[in-house]
Chains A and B, each alone.
Chain A
Amino acid sequence: MNRRSFATTIAVAGLLGFVAAPGVVRAGGADAKSNVTLIKNATILTITHGNIEHGSILIRDGKIAEVGSDIKAPDGATVIDASGEFILPGIIDCHSHIAVSGDVNEGGAAVTSMVNIGDVLNSEDPAIYYDLAGGVTVANVLHGSANPIGGQTIVIKLRWGKPSSELPFEGALPGIKFALGENPKWSNYRPPPGYPQRYPVTRMGVEEIIRQAFTEAKEYKKQWDDYNRRKAAGEANLIPPRRDLKLDPLVEVLEGKRYIHCHSYRSDEILMLMRVSKEFGFKVRTFQHVLEGYKIADELAAYGVGASTFSDWWAYKMEAYDAIPYNSALMTERGVVVSVNSDDSEEARHLNQEAAKAIKYGGLSENDALKLVTLNPAIQLGIDNRVGSIDVGKDADLVIYNHDPLSVYAVAQKTLIDGTVYFDRDRDIAARPAREAEKKVLLEKEKNAREEEKKKAEEKRKTDEAKKKAEQEKATPPKDKGDDSGGAR
């Protein structure tokens, strides 16, 4: 196995505003020794069955084995004393663009369902580590919103230090990004002079593109069904239909094997997609952003779609003018499963606080507020049987905070995924001086090499010059001193 050494760590100076490079420390080491861990003396926010004071969680083989107030550590167990600390299920970010190599948008066509975020996962993106430092353990990594029908999406666990192939959340249904409104119609972007404007440029056009794509997908599915039937009947001399990577995922959507996560703002366009989906027989899994969701909360609840929104961003473009910070609370009250997402690697580091805003704006209960970033996104992504709460049998994806995570003083101390500590604040801080020292050594080494090069170049220049001068002098006998032949000065 290619287990990169513990020393393989990564820093990006300045990004977090540290003078020193933030320590970015790989998982592994001590934690890997034992597959049984006990976290004790903590306030456990289970989300599903209340809070447990002075509680303990026993982790065995990456799963939560026991939750209670009186658990003894088995022999050989790693014990984490979390006295005075709080444990929350790992935060799930239902809208993320981290860990992607290259552009998150394939903007070259209006329908780009052939592209797949899963092909370009980037395990080396430091944002994975920064998200972990904010308590995030699962991210729904989405294609951008440049097209009515965008690329295929994937749910990952933030297993920092593992290769890209080990990031995907096993068994989570893949998704596809749809987008409505200003972004897919390129309202805020014009092609360079001389380049053609891409269709569509109106909301009507966006709807038409989606209808067209599903009409094609149905026809394509029919072709394949037809071909398979004729082949099964023993017909010879058949040419199979061409496999179309653009339409394959749309057929999966029609067959319920792939979730649609749809970027949306305005209530009218959200209602439009719900109508179109009923007509074509597919289902939208989540509306993302859904800033006007509060206007149509009853319709969303009746349709059974998840709503994944921002806490309090608004008015940053025309279609966001009607957004209000009460959105998540109002939709929750009407029975919509609501989550609060980041859409941004900085925002992702304090989703606990984003959730807390729904208490101030809208008066959600503390537990319902925490659900916005734990259990509810798990439900929306169809992974609530595995994550989203602290229950026996679920994955041990946990965050340990020094304060109540709804407090502005809360800072994540440790983040665990599958029972393994992937972020440890103490370890991070302890590793910083060594990293700084290493950096200094390497910078010094480069500087010396540069100076060596310069010296060599200078020497070469001098010898070349001397040679040239000697040749010149040989060719033309010196006339008079005083020209630029040197020496005279």
Chain B
Amino acid sequence: MKSKSAGKLPWLFLAIILLPALLLSHAGRLRAEGGEPRYFAITNARVVPVSGPVLETGTVVIANGLIQSVGASVTIPPEAWVIDGKGLTVYPGLIDAGVDLGITKPEAPVTEARGRGRRRAGAPVPEHISMGPEDRPGTSPWIVASDDFNAADKRIESWREAGFTTALVLPEDAIIAGQGSLMDLNGERVSQMIVKYHAALRIGLHPETYGFPDSLMGVISYLRQVTDDTAWYDVAAPTYAARPNGIERPNVDRTEEIMSLILHRKEFVLFPANDLVEIPRAMRLAQEWNLHAAIYGGQQSYELADQIAAKKYQVIVNLKWPEGPKDPDPEDIPSLRVLRFRDRAPGSPAALAKAGVKFAFSSGGITDPKEIQKNVRKATAAGLSSDAALRAFTLDAAEILGVADRLGSIEPGKIANLVVADDDLFAEKTKVKHVFVDGRHFEVHEIEKPHKPGDGDKPGGSPEVSDDDPEVGR
């Protein structure tokens, strides 16, 4: 699996192997530090640790990729590169809990509806058409996003410059798409970027274009069959292994092998659900299948926050709020239902915070990181405190993803992921000045031109609701 990325980046790997060898002969220290400073001190800055009270004037010391100390008066190591933080604020690095950074997708052909069994116009007929659950349609739980991660994706830099130090990178959507990896956006080497290799299993509820399942209910029945099959395999495999004589050999199925490691609340699952109908359905199914799942989407949580709280689910809110077309047809007036959804969706985070639901944010299908900040401001305008917004991007995201022991706040011993900005992080005019990822310093010189959309980063599903199909995100 690893060889894939190696194949893509032969030069890089050659450099990785040769460079240290060259340096070793005359500069041992450089080899250990990659030629970069390993000690930093940001002094006289306002520090927002998230885990505790704000320090109006404090110093943060970074050593060897970790936060060494935080406080009003801390010892600055003599070798540290000192950054005067006067007038600046230090925040923990932001976490994007669901994005396709570094994942390149094949060009998606236009989907064309044509009677029963939609198909992709011009797309070649697939070699294999699923005829039933046993054909394991859209199923690849063995895929891990970081295995196919392209560290050269230009968008990584734009995300980092917007203050993101960590991203839950998800594989391309499918019914059982595979594992998302939590990656620190720290540079070129994939292996150094991985914080958590298996961070979240992505499942999707998209029907196949042809063959089984070509309906939502088919997808659900399929997932149910997989959970049953896995439960069966968990009994059948050891029984057979213990005494094969006289027992018909159970099939060996890669899906069951891997799902066995994931199901029964052993690993974290993202369950897509965005609206009033999908969210309760997701909670019901996650309970039926005994998943340790979070609601992924959650844009109509403003209606359901109490219910989500009662069932103790966590939510990863998609920040790509539903919007009308930029240049709407004046004849085509949307229904009140649609208008209300567009109007109220940014109120979901505030509602979740009020109900005591832990939530994080995902950029969903947003292509320009500035849009993320703008959409956060919509959520704060709808009642979310900026403290809560920050928490959702940092410590709460880290807790949901099970890495709060190493990420999400400015505390000694945690990974040195920091953002230094000249004002409140989510304010419109604020500029990010420095970003630290794993203690690596990235200075932000010039705000780059917004990255043009269309680089394979299409949203996973249209958050639009329509009269014909009140479902969302299918």
The answer to whether A and B belong to the same complex is yes
A:85-126 near B, CB below 8 Å: 100-109, 112, 114-117, 119-120, 122-126
Tell whether A481 is near chain B: CB-to-CB under 8 Å.
no
B236: interface (CB < 8 Å) = yes
Contact A445 B280 (CB under 8 A): no
Asked if B303 contacts A8 (CB within 8 A), the reply is: yes
Q: In the complex, given contacts A13-B335, A164-B277, what are 4 additional A-B residue pairs having Cβ atoms less than 8 angstroms apart? A: A11-B336, A101-B281, A106-B214, A124-B277
B242 contacts which chain A residues (CB < 8 A)? 237
- Is A123 within 8 A of B276, CB to CB? yes
- Contact bitstring A127-147, B, C-beta under 8 A = 1, else 0: 000000000000000010010
Complex contact A442–B326 (CB within 8 A): no
Q: Which residues of B contact A245 (CB under 8 A)?
A: 133, 221, 224-225, 228
Asked whether, in the complex, the Cβ of B333 is within 8 Å of the Cβ of A103, the reply is no
Check if A12 sits within 8 Å of B280, measured CB to CB. no
Q: Considering the chains assembled together, what is the distance between the CA atoms of A8 and B216 in angstroms?
A: 26
Contact indicator A446/B232 (Cβ below 8 Å): no
**Contact yes or no, A10 B303, CB < 8 A:** no
Across the interface, do B221 and A4 meet the contact criterion of CB distance under 8 Å? no
CB of A461 closer than 8 Å to a CB of B? no
> In the complex, are the beta carbons of B336 and A109 less than 8 A apart?
no
Check B306 against A2 for contact (C-beta < 8 Å). Answer: yes
Residue of A11, A189, A192, A240 touching B335 (CB-CB under 8 A): A11
B247 touches A21 (CB 8 A): no
Q: Within 8 Å of chain B (Cβ to Cβ): is A475?
A: no
Q: Which residue of B lies closest to A164 (CB)?
A: B277
Which residue of chain B lies nearest to A245 when distances are taken between CB atoms in the complex?
A: B225
Q: Which of B211-250 contact A (CB under 8 A)?
A: 211-218, 220-222, 224-225, 228-229, 232, 235-236, 239-240, 242-243, 246-248, 250
CB pair A164 B217 closer than 8 Å: no
- The answer on a CB contact under 8 Å between A163 and B215 is no
CB pair B213–A108 under 8 Å, yes or no, is yes
Q: Are A109 and B132 in contact (CB under 8 A)?
A: yes
The residue on A at minimum CB distance from B125 is: A194
Which residues, 207 to 250 on A, are CB-close (under 8 Å) to B? 237-240, 242-243, 245-246
Mask, A426-466, CB within 8 Å of B = 1, is 00000000010011001101100010010000000000000
Asked if A243 and B133 sit within 8 Å, CB to CB, the answer is no
The 3 A-B residue pairs with the shortest CB-CB distance in the complex, in nearest-first order = A108-B212, A102-B216, A103-B215
- In the bound complex, how far is the Cα of B248 from the Cα of A154, in angstroms? 38
Contact of B343 (CB < 8 Å), options: A8, A186, A192, A445: A445
**Given contact pairs A103-B215, A122-B470, A245-B224, A12 touches B210 in the complex (Cβ within 8 A):** no
A437 to B296, CA, bound (A): 34
Let me know if B404 is at the binding interface, CB within 8 A: no
Contacts A/B (CB < 8 Å), 22 sampled: A9-B336, A101-B471, A107-B214, A108-B130, A108-B131, A108-B208, A108-B218, A109-B131, A109-B212, A114-B221, A115-B218, A119-B217, A146-B116, A189-B116, A192-B119, A195-B117, A196-B129, A243-B229, A245-B224, A245-B225, A443-B333, A445-B343
- What residue of chain A has the Cβ atom nearest to residue B248's Cβ? A239
> From A104, which residue of chain B is reached at the shortest CB distance?
B215
Known: A192-B119, A194-B125. A243 touches B232 (CB 8 A): yes
A15 contacts the other chain (CB 8 A): yes
Q: How far is the CB of A457 from chain B (nearest CB, A)?
A: 10
Decide if A419 is an interface residue (CB 8 Å cutoff): no
Could you tell me the distance in whole angstroms from the C-beta of B217 to the nearest C-beta in chain A?
A: 4
Q: Which residues of B sit under 8 angstroms from A62, Cβ to Cβ?
A: none
Whether A239 and B235, one on each chain, are in contact in the complex, defined by CB atoms closer than 8 angstroms, is yes
Contact of B218 among A106, A122, A123, A124 (CB under 8 A): A106
Q: Bound complex: CA of A70 vs CA of B242, how far in Å?
A: 77
Residue numbers in B under 8 Å from A10 (CB-CB): 335-337
Would you call A164 and B336 a contact (CB within 8 A)? no
Q: Which residues of A contact B117 (CB under 8 A)?
A: 107, 189, 191-192, 195
C-alpha gap A133/B248 in the complex (Å): 58
Question: What residues of chain A lie closer than 8 Å to B213, measured between beta carbons?
Answer: 106, 108, 115
Does B107 touch A at the CB level, under 8 Å?
Answer: no
CB of B339 within 8 A of CB of A442, answer yes
A161-212 with Cβ < 8 A to chain B: 163-165, 186, 189, 191-192, 194-196
Residues of B with C-beta under 8 A to A195: 117, 119, 125, 129, 210
A164–B236 CA distance with the chains assembled, in angstroms: 36
Known: A109-B131, A125-B470, A237-B247. A435 touches B218 (CB 8 A): no
**Contact code string B191-222 (vs A, CB < 8 Å = 1, else 0):** 00000000000000001101111111110111
Which of B115, B235, B280, B326 makes the CB contact (< 8 A) with A189? B115
Q: Out of B130, B210, B216, B232, which one reaches A242, CB within 8 Å? A: B232
Of B119, B132, B218, B276, most buried by chain A (CB within 10 Å of CB) is B218
Q: How far is the CA of A450 from the CA of B328 in the complex (A)?
A: 10
- B119 to chain A: which residues have CB within 8 Å? 192, 195
Q: Which residue of A lies closest to B280 (CB)?
A: A163
CA distance A2 to B277 in the complex (A): 13
A241 to chain B, nearest CB (A): 9
Bound together, the chains give a CA A434 to CA B115 distance in angstroms of: 40
- Scan residues 1-27 of chain A and give those whose CB is less than 8 A from a CB of chain B: 2, 4, 8-13, 15, 21
What residues of chain B lie closer than 8 Å to A119, measured between beta carbons?
Answer: 217, 220-221, 281, 285
CB distance from B249 to the nearest CB of A (A): 10
Verify if B445 is at the interface (C-beta below 8 Å from A).
no
Judge if B31 is at the interface, Cβ distance under 8 Å: no
Give B324's nearest chain A residue, CB to CB: A446
User: Does chain B have a CB within 8 A of A151?
Assistant: yes
Q: B136 contacts the other chain (Cβ, under 8 Å)?
A: no
For B231, the closest partner residue in chain A by CB is: A243
Task: Give the complex CA separation of A122 and B275 in angstroms.
Answer: 11
